[in-house]
């Protein structure tokens, strides 16, 4: 898809960028619930009142990267409380898996919770594993960044590892809460990131450290064996959407980018970035996957930022700047960023049904603001080369 030339953005964009980062931090802090939960979107009918581990972990990581230590830690405290309160359920899940009689998807942990940590009363596409890896990854990144003491999250991290060890091979819903019949490679990537982070934490007991190391190794090997497209399909092998697919999904940008599970500058990382650019990016706006029909299948600013983080790590700072500024241009007059925009729809005839069902798509979406912060923070840092020559 079309890519604008590098260097197309001016100093003015830089000034707006700082204001949008500040406004985004303020918005997230203002909307964080007293319990520590980050609402996905305060006003959108289908999300209001719920906090997701996936969105929240990336929001916490962004706040941590922007120096908002207390906000990030309040979210980790909330996650830990939710998980520890479900230790009996995790014990049942682990015992059933061990006995070779795994529990049904409906008995697994949910993907989103009310702010006070309950499942909530609304049906949802609930069995999703990625967030349980992502929250541990975010804790690990926070601990490394701020030299924080992870001791008070250790019990919950151990329980999360028990849960993942019992369930990582199961098909489940993906980042987009779709296709529960598949094993999704970006989900596996989140689990590797979480397991690696756990293994590096000094506060886990020897047994859980071993669980973390084994998990990281086994899932990494599964990605290498089953998560890469075949050679000879007309382009270099890249990470794929799910086991058996040859398509790409934009969530894979997180796996090769900010979570660094596959190094962005490796052959596999570069091929994955290139496939996302070719198949899913239109200017700086990134679609989730080619068959997306949700709200007509628009472009997601948070995915522009994930791709920008991957491009920055791969060494293409100019493209990362373009992607950030495309995302920034989706903000409205009230300073709110949306989940997606409708400028370029993959399935225009599917927009109306969602608007009728749930109203206009989510705005503000805190995860969009968070990814904008996260990429802006990284772009604000001098590159290693600039540091060296300074």
Chain residues binding ligand BGC by CB under 6 A are 40, 47, 52, 54-55, 175-177, 365, 367
Q: In the bound complex, which residue of the shown chain has the CB atom lying closest to ligand BGC?
A: 40
Question: Residues, the chain, total?
Answer: 390
Catalytic position from the list 61, 73, 177, 283: 177
Q: How far is the CB of 199 from ligand BGC (least distance, A)?
A: 26
Q: In 3-state terms, what secondary structure has residue 109?
A: coil
Catalytic position from the list 174, 220, 277, 316: 174
Q: Which of 208, 201, 174 is nearest to 76 (CA)?
A: 201
Q: In 3-state terms, what secondary structure has residue 385?
A: helix
The CA distance from 216 to 189, in Å, is 10
DSSP state of 122: S
Q: How far is the CB of 365 from ligand BGC (least distance, A)?
A: 6
Token pair for 328: 């920034």
Give the number of other CB atoms < 10 A from CB of residue 357.
Answer: 10
Active site residue 386: no
Based on CB atoms, which residue is closest to ligand BGC, 177 or 220?
177
The CA distance from 249 to 178, in Å, is 12
The CA distance from 201 to 181, in Å, is 33
Based on CB atoms, which residue is closest to ligand BGC, 120 or 237?
120
The CA distance from 236 to 228, in Å, is 10
The CA distance from 207 to 198, in Å, is 12
Radius of gyration of the chain from Cα atoms? 20
DSSP state of 50: E
Q: How far is the CB of 371 from ligand BGC (least distance, A)?
A: 12
Q: How far is the CB of 41 from ligand BGC (least distance, A)?
A: 6
Give Cα 20 distance to the centre of its chain: 21
Active site residue 177: yes
Based on CB atoms, which residue is closest to ligand BGC, 145 or 179?
179
Based on CB atoms, which residue is closest to ligand BGC, 113 or 367?
367
Q: In 3-state terms, what secondary structure has residue 153?
A: helix
Q: How far is the CB of 67 from ligand BGC (least distance, A)?
A: 24
Based on CB atoms, which residue is closest to ligand BGC, 48 or 267?
48
Q: Which of 283, 258, 257 is nearest to 268 (CA)?
A: 257
Based on CB atoms, which residue is closest to ligand BGC, 46 or 243?
46
The CA distance from 155 to 83, in Å, is 9
Q: How far is the CB of 176 from ligand BGC (least distance, A)?
A: 4
Catalytic position from the list 260, 283, 321, 339: 339
Active site residue 339: yes
Residues known to be catalytic? 174, 177, 339
């Amino acid at each position: 898809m079309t890519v604008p030339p590098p260097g197309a953005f001016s100093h003015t964009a830089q000034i707006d960028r700082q204001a949008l980062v500040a406004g985004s931090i303020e918005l997230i802090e203002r909307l964080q619930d007293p319990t520590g939960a980050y609402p996905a979107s305060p006003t959108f009918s289908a999300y209001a009142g719920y906090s997701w581990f996936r969105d929240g972990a990336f929001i916490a990581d962004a706040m941590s990267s922007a120096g908002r230590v207390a906000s990030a830690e309040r979210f980790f405290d909330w996650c830990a409380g939710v998980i520890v309160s479900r230790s009996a359920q995790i014990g049942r899940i682990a015992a059933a898996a061990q006995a070779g009689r795994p529990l049904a998807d409906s008995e697994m942990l949910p993907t989103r919770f009310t702010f006070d940590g309950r499942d909530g009363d609304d049906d949802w596409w609930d069995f999703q594993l990625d967030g349980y890896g992502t929250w541990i990854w975010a804790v690990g990144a926070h601990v490394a960044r701020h030299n924080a003491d992870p001791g008070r999250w250790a019990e919950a991290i151990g329980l999360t590892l028990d849960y993942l060890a019992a369930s990582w091979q199961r098909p489940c819903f993906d980042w987009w809460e779709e296709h529960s019949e598949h094993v999704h490679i970006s989900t596996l990537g989140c689990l590797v990131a979480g397991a690696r982070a756990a293994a590096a934490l000094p506060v886990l007991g020897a047994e859980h450290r071993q669980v973390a190391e084994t998990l990281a190794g086994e899932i990494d090997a599964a990605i290498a064996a089953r998560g890469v497209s075949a050679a000879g399909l007309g382009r270099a092998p890249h990470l794929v959407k799910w086991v058996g697919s040859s398509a790409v999904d934009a969530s894979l940008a997180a796996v090769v980018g900010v979570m660094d599970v596959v190094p962005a500058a490796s052959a596999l990382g570069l091929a994955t970035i290139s496939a996302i650019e070719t198949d899913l990016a239109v200017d700086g706006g990134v679609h989730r996957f080619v068959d997306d029909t949700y709200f007509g299948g628009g472009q997601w600013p948070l995915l522009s930022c994930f791709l920008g983080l991957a491009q920055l790590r791969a060494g293409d700072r100019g493209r990362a700047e373009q992607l950030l500024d495309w995302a920034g241009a989706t903000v409205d007059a009230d300073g709110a960023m949306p989940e997606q925009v409708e400028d370029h729809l993959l399935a225009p005839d599917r927009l109306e049904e969602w608007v009728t069902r749930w109203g206009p798509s989510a705005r503000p979406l805190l995860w969009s603001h968070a990814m904008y912060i996260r990429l802006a923070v990284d772009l604000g840092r001098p590159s290693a080369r600039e540091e060296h020559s300074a």
